[in-house]
Amino acid sequence: MKLPSLIQTFVLHFGEMGSRWGINRTVGQIYALLYVSSKPLNADEIAEALSFSRSNVSMGLKELQAWNLVRLQHLPNDRREYFSTPDDVWTIFRTLAEERRKRELDPTLSLLRDALIQQPANDEERHAQQRMQEMHDFMELTTQWFDDVRRLDTRTLVQLMQLGAKAQKLLEMKNKLKIVGSRKGKEDAAAGDA
């Protein structure tokens, strides 16, 4: 099976980008092919389309399954396994973010929590613990934010992302109102004292 030029360009690029994101180039290309495919593909079709060995495709599919990024399907009257990706790009994003969290953030948070409950032996360890606390607080806030975002339905999430800088302006306005309210409260208190 020869890939059309448009698909081949996307698959090759996705493989290169995958290696920058920390996944094997082969795995990235397999995923890209499945993502743009109009129908589920079996391992032999993937191997033929990408000119990969069957064993490379098998290993790549196992990795994608471990990341919950592909769905295994069976077709009627066919014993082979077929693979596809979720149709919704937001589902893919949520899955990828959740898997990265489980593999990267959660173990780091666990290590930081353990390090923070230890009694520092000297100033150097106290300084290190202070820095670890800052890292812990940042990562904890990030994971809480992600949990909040993950619970949003797709439509709301899209609207939130489209807000962009408008959200920042709204927060700045809120802070200005808080300052004005604080000044007004002080003025009223001063007037009451007079």
Q: Tens digit of pLDDT for each residue in 48-58?
A: 999 999 999 99
CA 24, CA 144: separation in Å to the nearest integer? 29
Instruction: Note down the domain range covering 70.
Output: 5-84
Within 10 Å of residue 102's Cβ, how many Cβ atoms?
12
Answer yes or no: do 77 and 119 share one domain: no
Lowest mean pLDDT among 93-102, 133-142, 157-166: 157-166
The confidence band for 97, taking pLDDT boundaries of 50, 70 and 90, is: confident
Answer yes or no: do 71 and 16 share one domain: yes
Average pLDDT, the chain: 89
Buried b (16+ CB within 10 A) or exposed e, 131-154: ebeeebeebeeeeeebeeeeeeee
Answer yes or no: do 62 and 110 share one domain: no
Answer yes or no: do 128 and 111 share one domain: yes
Q: Which residues, 6+ apart, have CB-to-CB distance to 101 below 8 Å?
A: 143, 146
Q: Please give the tally of structural domains in the chain.
A: 3
DSSP 73-92: EE-TT--SEEEE--S-HHHH
Residue 50: give its domain's CATH number: 1.10.10.10
Query: What pLDDT sits at residue 116?
Result: 96
Within 10 Å of residue 116's Cβ, how many Cβ atoms?
14
Q: Tens digit of pLDDT for each residue in 122-140?
A: 999 999 999 999 999 999 9
Q: Which residues, 6+ apart, have CB-to-CB distance to 118 below 8 Å?
A: 129
pLDDT above 90: residue 60: yes
CB 83 within 8 A of CB 67: no
Q: Which residues, 6+ apart, have CB-to-CB distance to 128 below 8 Å?
A: 120
Answer yes or no: do 174 and 194 share one domain: yes
Q: Tens digit of pLDDT for each residue in 16-35?
A: 998 788 788 999 999 999 99
Answer yes or no: do 55 and 79 share one domain: yes
Answer yes or no: do 33 and 60 share one domain: yes
Q: Which residues, 6+ apart, have CB-to-CB distance to 160 below 8 Å?
A: 149, 152, 167
Query: What pLDDT sits at residue 185?
Result: 66
CA 88, CA 136: separation in Å to the nearest integer? 32
